[in-house]
Amino acid sequence: MRRLRGLLAVSGHLAGRYAPAPPASTTAQCSLFARTFQTLAQPEPVRLQKLSAPDSGILELRLERPEVKNAINWDVMRRLRSAIETIKADATAKVVLVASSVPGAFCAGADLKALPIPTIAVIEGAALGGGLELALSCDLRICGKNAKLGLPETGLAIIPGAGGTQRLPRIVGRSRAKELILTGRRCDATEAVMMGLANYCVPEGEAYQKALDIAREITQKGPLGIRMAKRAIDQGMAVADMASATAVEGECHEQLLHTQDRLEGLAAFVEKRKPVYKGK
């Protein structure tokens, strides 16, 4: 710390307006130090943090690359995958909010369907191409009024390559998905809700708070039940017929019958009190 203060003093930041001018070699060294210090001080491009009580169990995953509007690169991909593995290994995690700290830009580049807990995409501004594909991999999508969503890849003579051609038709239907992908058309938040692409459209700047409110509701439910409900829906939608889908549901239901949380839920209902679930 003393060395840092010394270098800053030499550069004029702490020496006062009447400090003598440093030699040219020292100035060059300080300039190099300042650039290095600025680089080291830059925020991590991917930030994962736990919210504190009373929001315990809610995690926040943010992409923070304002200088390139959250453009993806291999380092960001690696960090996103590492964050996903961290969430998977956290038994206390209940809901993940996926958001961007960059005004007007959502984040891109990771498949969140692999997570066993609910994921909520917070969309303010543009979610185009890979940004929308990331949002499609989330369980819920909350849009601010200013959101613009689209898959413009065909305009570049390519196609969406991170799940867009498969997830979009499963969410909005085959015909509507073809229209959006083949034309590359962007839709606003109101239209996104109407077609089922988004769950809510709220005033600009309020998407995060709406997502947090929903996350809080989810965390009040039995965590094992939430995980199994998500698994039953996702795996059931992936099979070809209703008989196989209901079999998936039955397997998930069976796993919950002998849990401590189920007994706690029944006891709380009889005793007319709020249940205290432990995820066991």
Q: What is the DSSP string of 17-60?
A: TTPPPPPHHHHHHHHHHHHHHHHHHSPPSEEEEEPPTTSTTEEE
Buried-state track 150-164, b at ≥16 Cβ within 10 A, e below 16? bbbbeeeeeebebbb
The active-site residue out of 99, 129, 133, 207 is: 133
Bridge partners, 148 (sequence order): 126, 188
The token pair that represents 44 in the structure block: 């991590």
173: left (phi over 0), alpha (psi -120 to 50) or beta: left
Is 64 among the residues known to form the active site? no
Is 130 among the residues known to form the active site? yes
Distance CA 237, CA 245 (A): 7
The active-site residue out of 83, 105, 110, 121 is: 110
The active-site residue out of 129, 135, 153, 222 is: 153
Distance CA 209, CA 195 (A): 23
Is 217 among the residues known to form the active site? no
Is 229 among the residues known to form the active site? no
- Give me the active site residues, please: 110, 130, 133, 153
